[in-house]
Structure 1
């Protein structure tokens, strides 16, 4: 095994090579899928899982990984990250190489990033992000943000879905004056998504009210990081979540609410799902673990690193969201990894409105969810695989290529030792940022091996990654959330008891 040079800008060992064999056998572990677990070996060749069964026999030219007493799982899929994103006068410190390297060290083998189109031009945005992702070291997909509405955007959405492999579009109800769309644009976007079989995603905060809340805080002389949370309270997240859900019901389209941060928003998701509406609620690690007391820290640099939107909430919200995740009210866990270093955050030292929003998490997600949800007894091991990998693959229509340990699936595999311990530190993490919102967190359960695309990229605390080895994953439209939508439309038209022409979607 080649020894990596530990003196890198990533805070941990990194190599620009791959030490893996094209043939790998993982022996003696417990293979965990979202639907079951079993004692099996896993045989990998040329980036694909070829066999999953007990006692696989192989020749001498195979790399053997002993997984005795450990769990063999699909690599994590992070549905929500922002790498190389230009935002609030800065660009995130993690690009597609450093952010993905950090992800691999933590057991995530694919992420879905958000294309933010310049001046609302979707095609230009796609080309820009493909260029940004040239140095990727793991597989990735794209969501596309829609930040304005006109006929050119509508036509570009068709191109994105039919030619570029994008099956989801994000609409911001926050960030007035930049990303925020009106209800009229949201309705048009929902209708277009439905016709294309693409899933609409919504950042749910009332942008007009947030703008008013920010003015209120400044008028009161509150300029520190605490003003960020005070200006956009949970009620504004709840209102926007409710509004998006009801407009989606009006159009009869599935809906995905990104980063549910509060009880208020979670309860709106729960109410909709209970009524039978197809609404997905995404939690993020920060919402499950942190509370907003950190924003009142007298040290600006400490408090500012926790500024994100929607904000981290007060005591009680995290526990409620954990319960919602464990009972299926929320379906999966992302990170909203959007990192800015201390210097970048200091832009808002005298005005919280200028602090670049975002926290880390792409490296820490898998172990923190394990420690919080599995080691604590809240969910099963299979549920863990579902919420960190499989459900994302199914929602975005790439299962079982991703999100499964099955013959024919991509060889994105991790070996997790439930008895190993971890401690998180900005001194040892692989992100380029100089802070970590989970600093000092200790727990049980650690990822000891990560295999991405059939390459061993993390083992023995060494990260062996190759720029440009990641692949863009096209995600086809009309995932399972669209099943039966046209029938529901027919039933609605019939219920009107009027002479109408039925339109097929």
Structure 2
């Protein structure tokens, strides 16, 4: 069994920061202390570095079909990029089709990922319709595949969008099965009307993607989903929250005791709607859903992270080349493939814009990039922690350097970077997945296929009051 020692580093978890060494045997952390015997061990000196739990990205779309094309990054290039960005596990979305057995869709995603990933991974399952046939398949899927989160789209009319009855029935099923329901919360019917109106008026530029998906539409759908969750006494996770209108609905639901959780993404914290106004169709690089918002929303989102109204950061990785994919919509913004390349820079942007600028603590950084996702998605304490018995998923991070984000140096396969030219504080140097280096001194050393598919446990509501609290 291989032995690895990480010494002289500053360990950061979601609850504390301290100096200690980490002893790893095989895939597992076996001891945290000082002065471990180094003979025969692989020793990594982390002096002057933070040692973080490996990042968990709960929201990726690798090799995903959309709008007549397929995302540029697959499970190989996407997870290599993730590793260089400090992420040691991703949870991807398995899309389903009407009248298609769910097992068949899941197998398709297993085939996509087989022998490719360099970090560990799991799947969420899209629910596009709910009936007895679908309902009867769910217990077996949870048992066989450990998929304990279901995604319902409230947008993309005539493509992915489900109706409210499907959402409500999914919430009821999830309550009984111990699953977490995820929603893309935008009102797809109103978006459809506004986009058709814009095109009829000759408004075809990328900026109209944002103008036909105003924040009120996201807020309305978020509030509707939250109320249905409370009615079903179930649990909800709202993906890629972008604006004040949605945050307020989540915060209100949580104050009333509903098990509603929220995720935002680095693009909404660092970019704004003006990027979509770039000339010469450059704005298409920034077309994703929900769209970028007015800059004032950035600080509102940071405050929601600080307060705990938003709990996680996903990348919503969904990369399409500018040349050959995004330009499918050069004459019609509705044909621009939605999505952007975010998987590699999630960790860096949240550290640089959050910790380095004094918006959040080191502990909050670990909480939102790793620990909370592990708890919500049935991976804790195996993932998202630096503790004896946990997987040795670790990131050696140098906070004392700066780097400039660029397509010229990133590891994604896509032909542009949404954060091009942004200078960030701190850099990922070495990354271990289950005790084995996949990035060492900023070089890729992991092998495709070394990442492992992870079955996940059922949902546990950590916000629920304890028995003692309910008696007060």
Give yes or no for the alignment of 1:191 onto 2:172.
Answer: yes
Question: 1:33-432 to 2 correspondence within 5 Å?
Answer: 33-59=13-39, 61-119=40-98, 121-134=101-114, 135-300=116-281, 302-342=282-322, 343-432=324-413
RMSD, aligned CA: 1.9
Deviations 1:448-497 (CA, angstroms, capped at 9, x unpaired): 1111121112122211121111111101113235857999xx99xxxxxx
The answer to whether the Cα contact below 8 Å between 1:400 and 1:409 also exists between their aligned partners in 2 is yes
Closer/same/farther in 2, CA of residues 206 and 354 from structure 1, 3 Å limit: same
**Is this contact kept in 1: 2:259–2:461, CA < 8 A?**
no
More off after superposition, 388-397 vs 317-326? 317-326
Q: Shift in Å at residue 45 of structure 1?
A: 1.9
SS at match of 1:40: strand
For residues 144 and 328 of structure 1, the distance between their equivalents in structure 2, rounded to whole angstroms, comes to: 26
Counterpart for residue 7 of structure 2? 27
Q: Distance in 1 between matches of 2:310 and 2:21?
A: 32
1:327 and 1:483, CA in 2 relative to 1: closer, same or farther beyond 3 A?
A: closer
Once residues 67 and 466 of structure 1 are traced to their aligned partners in structure 2, the CA distance between those partners, rounded to angstroms, is 23
Q: Deviations over 1:293-323 (max 9, x none)?
A: 01111121x2111100111111211121111
TM-aligned CA deviation for residue 420 of structure 1: 1.4
CA distance in 1, matches of 2:124, 2:362: 28
Contact 1:138 1:453 in 2 (8 A): no
Q: Is the 8 A contact 1:76 1:366 kept in 2?
A: yes
Check 1:166–1:485 CA distance in 2 against 1; reply closer, same or farther (3 A cut).
farther
CA deviation vs aligned residue, 1:74-120 (integer Å, no higher than 9, x gap): 01000100001111111101001110000001110001000001335
CA contact (8 A) 1:27 1:41 kept: yes
**3-state SS of the aligned residue for 1:322?**
helix
State the Cα deviation string for residues 216-265 of structure 1 (Å, max 9, x = none).
Answer: 21122110111110111100000000000000000011111000011110
Structure 2 residue aligned with 1:499: none
CA distance in 1: counterparts of 2:440 and 2:466, whole angstroms: 45
- Give the Å deviation of 1:136: 1.4
Aligned-pair CA distance for 1:383: 1.0
Q: Is the 8 A contact 2:241 2:263 kept in 1?
A: yes
Gaps of 5+ in 1: 1-20, 492-505
CA distance in 2, matches of 1:273, 1:422: 38
**CA deviation map 1:411-460 (0-9, x unaligned):** 11001111111110001100000011000110211111111121112122
How many Å separate the matches in 2 of 1:206 and 1:341? 27
Task: Say how many residue pairs are matched.
Answer: 468
Contact 1:253 1:485 in 2 (8 A): no
Contact 1:40 1:55 in 2 (8 A): no
User: Quick one: distance in 1 between partners of 2:466 and 2:6?
Assistant: 42
Contact 2:396 2:429 in 1 (8 A): yes
Query: How far has the Cα of 1:326 moved from its partner?
Result: 1.7
Deviation of 1:24 (Å) = 1.4
1:121 Cα shift?
A: 3.2
Q: Could you tell me how far apart the structure 2 residues matched to 1:101 and 1:126 are?
A: 22
Change (3 A) 1:41 1:110: same
Aligned with 1:186: secondary structure? helix
The residue matched to 2:325 in structure 1 has which SS?
helix
Paired with 1:107 and 1:233, the residues of 2 have a C-alpha distance of 33
Could you tell me how far apart the structure 2 residues matched to 1:259 and 1:310 are?
7
SS in structure 2 at match of 1:310 = coil
Separation (CA, whole Å) in 2 of partners of 1:367 and 1:421: 10
Contact 1:254 1:481 in 2 (8 A): no
The TM-score normalised by the length of structure 2 is 0.96
Post-superposition, which runs of at least 4 consecutive aligned residues in structure 1 deviate over 6 A? 484-487
Which residue of structure 2 aligns with residue 5 of structure 1?
none
Q: Could you tell me whether the CA contact under 8 Å between 1:254 and 1:482 is conserved in 2?
A: no
TM-score normalised by the chain length of structure 1: 0.90
**Displacement of 1:50:** 1.3
